[in-house]
């Protein structure tokens, strides 16, 4: 916009630099006789029209700038609203994951003081109890806060650090899920697929349904439609009547309409 305005000012500058009637080229002083004649004659019509045209163009540019500023402010407001809604969705999903794990906590499990016990299913069928200490909860919440703010790269790093530091924490599986989710949002689909697959290493885990659904989504984005269809169909068959099953059905219907 500034470049366009600069181009429009060049004709004005050129017009100002043109020889002015009645001005001597030698000493730059006006010729008295020419001044008297110019005083009796109207200004050059062509120059006047050019000046008026430039003024109209300048006013139009100013209106365009105002409109663009208003548009940017509106889009900024809408973006903030989207971030807020996304943060709320993340909160709901994270709370659901944690609640599902805590509902499986056996009464006989006695966690350490200040810690929260979590039951993690094992291949042998014997539940393994994990605990979440206040420090682990604080570190997890800090990483999750970055995720809700849309700082995905920082959030991914923070969750990776969490998994490395607390591999046996009751929140380690959740952290792994959010590593995958962050890469999905950033469109790092191949990496997201690897990270969601790590979550699925425990097919009976509390996060397996959401991870399997996202595997279907990722395969769709990668153009692997057969694999996407299989993953989404598996979601419907393994978790009928659930939210993830309904989301899988919606995506499968979309693929059908697209001829995928």
pLDDT of residue 143 exceeding 60: yes
Tell me: do 252 and 149 sit in the same domain: yes
Residue with tokens 């309409």: 257
| pLDDT tens, residue by residue, 61-100 | 877 787 777 666 666 655 655 655 666 667 666 766 666 5
Examine residue 99 and state whether it is found in any structural domain, yes or no: no
Query: Which candidate, 185, 208, 183, places its Cα nearest to that of 194?
Result: 183
What's the rounded Cα separation, in Å, for the pair 34 and 50? 23
pLDDT of residue 110 exceeding 50: no
Tell me: do 55 and 6 sit in the same domain: yes
pLDDT of residue 102 exceeding 70: no
Query: Which candidate, 233, 258, 230, 237, places its Cα nearest to that of 248?
Result: 233
Tell me: do 237 and 185 sit in the same domain: yes
**Last residue of a domain, which of 57, 80, 103?**
80
Position with higher pLDDT, 23 vs 69: 69
What is the predicted pLDDT for the residue at 45?
75
The reported pTM is 0.58
Position with higher pLDDT, 28 vs 189: 189
Tell me: do 63 and 137 sit in the same domain: no
Domain CATH number, residue 225: 1.25.40.10
| pLDDT tens, residue by residue, 181-235 | 999 999 999 999 999 999 999 878 888 999 999 999 999 999 999 999 999 999 9
Domain membership of residue 61 as a residue range: 2-80
Tell me: do 252 and 126 sit in the same domain: yes
Tell me: do 174 and 75 sit in the same domain: no
Tell me: do 160 and 241 sit in the same domain: yes
Examine residue 160 and state whether it is found in any structural domain, yes or no: yes
Position with higher pLDDT, 124 vs 153: 153
With contact defined as beta carbons under 8 Å apart, do 126 and 119 qualify?
A: no
Tell me: do 140 and 199 sit in the same domain: yes
How many domains does one find in the chain?
Answer: 2
What is the predicted pLDDT for the residue at 138?
96
């Amino acid at each position: 916009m500034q470049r366009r305005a600069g181009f429009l000012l060049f004709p004005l500058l050129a017009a100002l630099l043109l020889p002015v009637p009645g001005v001597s080229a030698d000493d730059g002083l006006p010729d008295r006789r020419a001044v008297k004649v110019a005083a009796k004659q109207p200004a050059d019509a062509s120059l006047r029209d050019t000046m008026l045209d430039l003024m109209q163009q300048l006013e139009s540019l100013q209106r365009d700038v105002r409109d663009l500023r208003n548009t940017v402010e509106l889009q900024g407001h809408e973006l903030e609203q989207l971030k807020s809604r996304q943060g709320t969705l993340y909160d709901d999903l994270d709370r659901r994951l944690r609640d599902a794990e805590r509902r499986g906590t056996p009464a006989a499990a006695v966690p350490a003081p200040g810690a929260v016990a979590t039951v993690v299913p094992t291949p042998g069928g014997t539940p393994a109890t994990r605990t979440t200490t206040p420090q682990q909860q604080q570190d997890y919440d800090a990483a999750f806060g970055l995720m809700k703010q849309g700082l995905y790269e920082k959030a991914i790093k923070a969750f990776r650090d969490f998994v490395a530091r607390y591999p046996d924490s009751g929140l380690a599986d959740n952290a792994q899920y959010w590593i995958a989710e962050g890469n999905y949002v950033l469109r790092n689909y191949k990496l997201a697929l690897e990270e969601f697959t790590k979550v699925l290493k425990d097919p009976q885990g509390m996060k397996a349904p959401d991870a399997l659904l996202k595997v279907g989504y990722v395969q769709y984005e990668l153009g692997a439609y057969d694999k996407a269809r299989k993953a989404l169909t598996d979601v419907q068959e393994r978790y009928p009547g659930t939210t993830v099953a309904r989301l899988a059905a919606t995506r499968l219907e979309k693929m059908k309409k697209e001829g995928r």
